[in-house]
Amino acid sequence: MITIKEVSSKKDLKTFVKFPFKLYKDSKYWTPPIISQEMKTFDKNENPVFNDAEARLFLAYKNNEVVGRIAAIINWLEIKEQDQQKMRFGWFDFIDDLEVSKALLNKVEQIGNSKNLKYTEGPVGFSNLDKVGVVTEGYDAITPMVTWYNYPYYVKHYEAAGYKPEKGYNESIFPFSNVNPETFKKAQELIKRRYQLKALKFSKTEEVMPYVDKMFDLFNKTYASLSSFVQITDIQKAYFKKKFISFVNPEYIKFVVNKDDELIGFAIVMPSFAKALKKANGKLFPFGFKHILKAKKHSKDVIFYLIGIHPDYQNKGIHSVIFNEYYEVFTEKGIENCYRTPELEDNIAIKQIWKHFNPVVFRKRKTYKKML
C-alpha cells in the first residue's frame, strides 16, 4: 500500500531533500546537493521564483518508510506569457517500484487537470537555470552539481506511466589538450578590431557584480528562441547573483563589450565541485566548506555552465574572443578536462561553437511528456 503525503512542515521538507541521500548512498556517480541550499530553493521567503510560480511537494510512503518524492511545479510566466499550458515536475526520485512512481505522477496529473493545463513535462525545475532531464545513457560518470543523476530503471517508470520522450539533451567532454589555439588566436584579434570589442578580465568577485544584471538581460535575449525558455525576472537576477556568482572564480567569468561598453557576449565556467560535494555529503560544516574551497582553487576539471552572444553579433566569431581568454587562464591553471552542461540536441548553434575541440557526448538525458 502506497501513501502519498504532501510536504507541509520544515521537518517534511528536510525528509524530502534528504531522501536521495538514502536512495543513492551506494552510488559512485550521484553528487549530493548542500542540504541547506536545497531547503532554501523551496522556501517562498528565500526564492523569488515563487512570485511567478508555485510548487507542491509530495512524499511516497510504503510500510511507514519514505520510498519516493516529487515536486509539482507551475510557472505562471510560462503559462500566461508563452501560452505553454504546462504542468512541470522535478525532484522526482523513487525506488524501483512502479506503484510508487505512478502514485507520485498521478498527484502531478491531478493538479494539472485541476488547473486546466494541457500536459505534464519533467523532470524540470522552475526555470532554465535549474536542473533538467532524466539520464537515459551514460550512468557511469559522476554528475556535476548543476545536474540530476538517476538509476537506469527510471526510464521504464516514465514509459510505464504513459510518458513519451519530449526533449533530448547532451552532456559532452573534451580534454583541454584538444584545444588548438590556432583555431581562434588570429581570428579573435581580427574580430576585436573589426567590431571594436574588448574582453573584460576579472580578479575579484566585486569587479564582476556591476555587469551581472546586464549578463542576465543578455541571457534572456540569447536563449529566447530555444524551446522551453522562460525569462529570468529582475528579482530572480538578484537571487541568482547572490546564490551563484560567489561560487564562481572571477577569472572564470568572461564578458565581451563593444565600444559603448555594452555587453555583447559572456561565458561562465565553474570548477568541478562534484568530488568535493561527495566529501561534504550535504553539509557545509564542519568540513564541507574546506572541500569546496579547495576544489574552487585547485580543481583540474571545469564545467562550461553558460555561454551567450547577443543576437546582433551571432555568427561573427565572438566566441573566439571568449575561447582565447579561457585558453590563457586554463593553461596557467593546468586544466585537464572541460565538461559542458546539458545542451538541447536541437541547439545547432552551440554545436558549431564547439566543433573544433572534438567533444565526446558522454551522457544523454530526456524530458518526458504526457497529455492530460
pTM of the shown model: 0.94
Nearest to 70 by CA among 142, 137, 157: 157
Bond into 48 cis (ω within 30): no
Phi, psi (5° rounding) for residue 342? -55, 130
pLDDT at site 120: 98
- Cα–Cα distance for residue pair 32/10, rounded to 1 Å: 20
195 phi, psi to nearest 5 deg: -105, 5
Considering only residues 82 and 122, tell me which one the structure prediction assigns the higher pLDDT: 122
User: What's the rounded Cα separation, in Å, for the pair 145 and 149?
Assistant: 10
What is the DSSP track for 243-308?
HHGGGS-GGGEEEEE-TT--EEEEEEEEE--HHHHHHHTT--TTTHHHHHHHHHHH-SEEEEEEEE
Q: Which domains does the chain have, with CATH numbers?
A: 2-171 (3.40.630.30), 175-363 (3.40.630.30)
pLDDT band at 191 (very low <50, low <70, confident <90, very high): very high
Task: Kindly tell me the burial class for residue 241, based on how many C-beta atoms sit within 10 Å of its own C-beta (0-12, 13-18, 19 or more).
Answer: middle
Helix, strand, coil percentages, rounded to 5, for the chain: 40, 30, 30
Query: How many angstroms separate the Cα of 251 from the Cα of each of 184, 236, 271, 330?
Result: 19, 24, 11, 10
Q: What is the mean pLDDT of residues 177-195?
A: 94
Q: What pLDDT band is residue 227 in, cutting at 50, 70 and 90? A: low
| Residue 165 CB neighbours (<10 A) | 14
Q: What distances in angstroms separate CA 328 from CA 68, 230, 325, 341, one per listed residue?
A: 46, 34, 6, 22
* Residue 121, Cβ density class (10 Å: 0-12 exposed, 13-18 middle, ≥19 buried): buried
Cα 149 from Cα 30, distance rounded (Å): 6
Q: What is the pLDDT of residues 284-343, one digit of tens each?
A: 988 999 999 999 999 999 999 989 899 999 989 999 999 999 999 999 999 999 999 999
Q: Using the predicted structure, report yes or no on whether residue 246 has a pLDDT greater than 80.
A: no
Burial of 271 (0-12, 13-18, 19+ CB in 10 A): buried
pLDDT averaged over every residue in the chain: 94
